[in-house]
Copies of this chain bind each other. A is one copy, B any other.
């Protein structure tokens, strides 16, 4: 090999990319630094965004294949991303990586009413899919907070949840099969198209929640439900989160199957009321919003059962409504907690760190009591909303991002909340994922055997370690 050939092997970035450019759809490759940087982070705080080599906005599966072949040949890391609405830094750039954005692969390929399935590309926005399915009398329940802006591909990559999960489960429960592009550019179909199937290890299931560390998902087959019945909605007003937590435990242990059971603490309610009028009462210590979509009289009966439990646990008031407009308003109120909190923190220095612990719901009362202790021991504020029926809570640590001491205390508080989740037999992440944000905590949750197994499987699927390195266990 001549000296020239050897030096061209250690190619400069520009040389490499011109080779790649020829393989890609026109305009897919972006080398403008400002544009690249604008794609370099998701919505997580405290996660570094490295300097990516390039951005590829894939316009076809062939583009994805070209990127992966090139990346394997050149040993370049690849960070796959969609709408970058994630909360764990999983879509953040690493130095020298290609950002592979698949948001433009956003076709709904097929909606099959008889088989209650659809096939979609990863860039389809969750809410857009819901609208399209409703026209066929079908529904796709998973509804993360980001439902209006996040993609199905991202939802699958993080196994996203939402408010429906207490009755309808998480993203994983709807994924039947997928087409993925592996690290070396191989295109393969995993899973099944049918309602059931056990032909070999469940690799489609393994890819759900793998946060871009195993391959690039380019097509997904989802199982669907018939269009859900409009729910009846109830609201319980409590003096504090503890009594609300005990209500959740008791109500769920009665055999109830609500289609939604959400909690807002007093601070969240105050922020929402300052943000807009959603009909929420002032001065509540905590709210539970409960829905039932059981047919006919059964839905109301379920809310009456809720009322009885709530009153026994000390609720100040419980009311409910069969008017769909009211249901929508209360869900809108619950969803407003994010923008309301954003507005609030903009007035105190703009720092907001959303946690995502999940505990056995029998321990929710204890969880809230100890969360109050954690909050009391720090100067930063803690405000909590979450999917109480599943024990999946999102305490948000609110702080002054411009003040180093406040930032340090926020991080400490955030960590103490994760430790509380583990102490109560729960997990550090119910639905947001590990990404970069919680990678140091993942090793506290997993035992030694599980860590080795995770790493071995990652290495088997991505032997060069080019897929989203430095995230999760990487």
Contacts and interface: CB of A to CB of B under 8 A. Distances in A.
Given A252-B116, A253-B113, A361-B115, A199 B165 contact: no
Contacts of A295: 294-296, 298
A85 B225 CA distance: 33
Interface in A267-322: 294-298
Nearest to A251: B114
A384 to B, nearest CB: 16
B114 A249 contact: yes
Interface stretch (A32-40, A201-209, A330-338, A396-404): A201-209
A192 B449 contact: no
Oligomeric state, in copies: 2
Interface in A160-199: 161, 165-166, 169-170, 172-173, 182, 186-190, 192-199
A262 to B, nearest CB: 14
A182 B226 contact: no
A428 interface: yes
Given A194-B358, A358-B195, A189 B430 contact: no
Contact of A456 (B202, B390, B460): B460
A219 interface: no
Interface in A137-178: 137, 158-159, 161, 165-166, 169-170, 172-173
Contacts of A196: 161, 165, 170, 358, 387, 390-392, 427, 430-431
The 5 tightest CB contacts between A and B, nearest first, are: A188-B449, A226-B255, A460-B460, A114-B362, A195-B390
A218 interface: no
A114 B430 contact: no
A360 B115 contact: yes
Interface in A233-279: 249-250, 252-253, 255-257
A174 to B, nearest CB: 11
Contacts of A60: none
B252 A449 contact: no
Interface stretch (A7-15, A370-378, A439-447): A439-447
Given A166-B195, A391-B195, A200 B454 contact: yes
B450 A461 contact: no
A132 to B, nearest CB: 16
A200 B459 contact: no
Contacts of A226: 255-257
A208 to B, nearest CB: 7
Contacts of A459: 460
A54 interface: no
Interface in A459-474: 459-461, 472-473
A432 interface: yes
